[in-house]
């Protein structure tokens, strides 16, 4: 049974849809009523779909976006980490990172324990993959015994003891966003920057972190394909963080090429452990260290050397404790695909392009991703890359190995990769800049 509307009952959905349809600005009272009424089922799905489309087409100003975000936060609970204590009895500072998602983006896995090395708590609430972008929780669930769902008390206890937690957001955190996200996904309105920015920031602000670093990806394998759109999204989210009193910094990073040499679940965990052991692909290490530096700066920690903490084993120690605290065995063998197929270089030359979107779609078709939220994923499926742009290759050398438990998936995965690779004459060099800009 729905509770009766209070002082906001004067509004109705059609009036609000017309206001935004006609390029008007919604008042704070209209926005608060809209989010509350939709969350409780008073506004019909088709009405909210129409409003979302009007917002996509006509936009929102900064005040509207801030109020929309605040209303979504108010729809649920807010976490409080003020009870976390340092050894000297002071409050332990919290910081977090959010990525807009990409292919091979396993950065959260080494990053959370790395930042925790320096006494800062990292409450990393993560999600599952949908489509060609992988989900952090899917990757970690390939570790035997590891569990994503923790109660608030369990999360706080782990942050106090270990300093880092990667888990699923509870149902009570910004429930309006959960409902809105599902609707946007099926109505072609995911691309709306006001709706996307408020979706991300409502959860992160409700999470209660002291500061936030955003990894806003741009390129073929990212949600935002062009730099102008990615920059607008980053600037909007930084402004929302500032308005909410959360120090927020964004990095624009390149997602034209997959991050690292793996795209999947278990194989990305394997690569993350290599990074924690002081090795791993240079791009994964570079981005992990840079994001750690930004998070520590936001948390007020000076003089830290994240690169050294990767090489000397301190970050690995926190990783082992973090995985074990959530029931996982950090030393257990990871799942291995039953079937493999290799793609070879067609010619001699320099690999100048390896399209992230194509690799992501191939990994998805092999079973590493899902088309619907309820779909299962294969822990061992994915794509292992043997060369990155800039490498010299010879005809007949392995370029990629496809992994799956269901060999009938190979054909469609290979179709996705038909035009993924560009090989140019030797002496060519691709223009690859991993970190494009910093927005604060």
pLDDT per position as a tens digit, 282-320: 999 999 999 999 999 999 999 999 999 999 999 999 999
Q: What is the pTM of this model?
A: 0.92
Measured in residues, the chain has a length of 440
The residues assigned a catalytic role are: 98, 177, 184, 199, 203
Average pLDDT over residues 216-226: 93
Average pLDDT over residues 58-67: 96
Measure the CA–CA gap between 193 and 31, rounded to whole angstroms.
17
Predicted local distance difference test score (pLDDT) of residue 420: 96
Average pLDDT of the chain, as a whole number? 93
pLDDT band at 10 (very low <50, low <70, confident <90, very high): low
pLDDT band at 351 (very low <50, low <70, confident <90, very high): very high
Predicted local distance difference test score (pLDDT) of residue 370: 82
Beta strands 349-354; 421-424: pairing state? antiparallel
pLDDT band at 161 (very low <50, low <70, confident <90, very high): very high
Predicted local distance difference test score (pLDDT) of residue 88: 80
Element (H, E) at 166: strand 164-168
- Does residue 279 or residue 2 have the better pLDDT? 279
Would you say residue 201 has pLDDT above 50?
yes
pLDDT per position as a tens digit, 83-142: 999 888 888 999 999 999 999 999 999 999 999 999 999 999 998 876 777 789 999 999
Predicted local distance difference test score (pLDDT) of residue 1: 36
Strand order in the sheet with 339-344: 262-264, 382-385, 398-404, 339-344
Q: Which domains does the chain have, with CATH numbers?
A: 7-59 (1.20.970), 96-325 (3.40.1030.10), 339-424 (3.90.1170.30)
pLDDT band at 170 (very low <50, low <70, confident <90, very high): confident
Would you say residue 144 has pLDDT above 80?
yes
pLDDT per position as a tens digit, 375-416: 889 999 999 999 999 999 999 999 999 999 999 999 999 999
Beta-carbon contacts of 191 under 8 Å, excluding residues fewer than 6 positions away, are 56
Distance between terminal CA atoms of the chain? 45
Would you say residue 253 has pLDDT above 50?
yes
Reading phi first (left if > 0) and then psi (alpha if -120 to 50, else beta), residue 49 is in: alpha
Reading phi first (left if > 0) and then psi (alpha if -120 to 50, else beta), residue 427 is in: left
Predicted local distance difference test score (pLDDT) of residue 185: 78
State CA 271 to chain mean position distance. 17
Predicted local distance difference test score (pLDDT) of residue 9: 58
pLDDT per position as a tens digit, 39-51: 999 999 999 999 9
């Amino acid at each position: 049974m729905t509770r009766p509307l209070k002082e906001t009952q004067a509004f109705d959905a059609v009036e609000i849809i017309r206001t935004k349809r006609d390029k008007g600005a919604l008042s704070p009272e209209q926005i608060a009523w809209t989010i509350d009424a939709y969350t409780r089922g008073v506004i019909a799905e088709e009405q909210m779909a129409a409003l979302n489309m009007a917002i996509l087409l006509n936009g929102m100003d900064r005040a509207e976006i801030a109020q929309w975000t605040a209303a979504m936060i108010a729809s649920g609970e807010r976490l409080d980490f003020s009870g976390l204590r340092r050894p000297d009895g002071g409050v332990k500072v919290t910081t977090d990172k959010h990525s807009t998602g990409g292919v091979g983006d396993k950065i959260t896995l080494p990053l959370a324990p790395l930042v925790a090395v320096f006494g800062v708590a990292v409450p990393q609430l993560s999600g599952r993959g949908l489509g060609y972008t992988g989900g952090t929780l899917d990757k970690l669930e390939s570790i035997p015994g590891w569990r994503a769902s923790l109660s608030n008390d369990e999360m706080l206890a782990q942050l106090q003891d270990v300093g880092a937690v990667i888990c699923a957001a509870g149902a009570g955190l910004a429930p309006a966003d959960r409902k809105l996200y599902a609707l946007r996904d099926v109505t072609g309105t995911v691309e709306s920057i006001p709706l996307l920015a408020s979706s991300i920031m409502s959860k992160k602000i409700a999470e209660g972190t002291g500061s936030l670093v955003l990894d806003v990806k741009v390129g073929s394998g990212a949600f935002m394909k062009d730099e102008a759109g990615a920059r607008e999204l980053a600037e909007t989210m930084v402004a929302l963080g500032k308005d909410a009193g959360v120090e927020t910094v964004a990095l624009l990073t390149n997602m034209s090429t997959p991050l690292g040499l793996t795209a999947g679940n278990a194989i990305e965990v394997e690569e993350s452990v290599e990074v924690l052991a002081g090795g791993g692909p240079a791009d994964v290490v570079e981005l992990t260290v840079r994001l750690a530096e930004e998070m520590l700066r936001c948390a007020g920690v000076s003089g830290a050397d994240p690169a050294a903490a990767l090489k000397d084993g301190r970050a690995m120690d926190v990783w082992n404790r973090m995985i074990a605290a959530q029931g996982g065995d950090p030393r257990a063998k990871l799942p291995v695909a039953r079937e493999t197929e290799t793609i070879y270089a067609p010619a001699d030359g320099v690999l100048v392009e390896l399209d992230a979107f194509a690799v992501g779609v191939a990994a998805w078709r092999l079973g590493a991703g899902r088309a619907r939220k309820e779909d299962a994923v294969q822990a061992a499926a994915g794509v292992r890359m043997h060369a990155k742009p800039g490498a010299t290759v010879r005809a007949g050398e392995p370029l990629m190995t496809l992994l799956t438990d269901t060999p009938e998936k190979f054909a469609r995965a290979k179709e996705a990769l038909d035009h993924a690779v560009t090989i140019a004459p030797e002496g060519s060099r691709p223009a690859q800049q991993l970190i494009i800009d910093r927005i604060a």
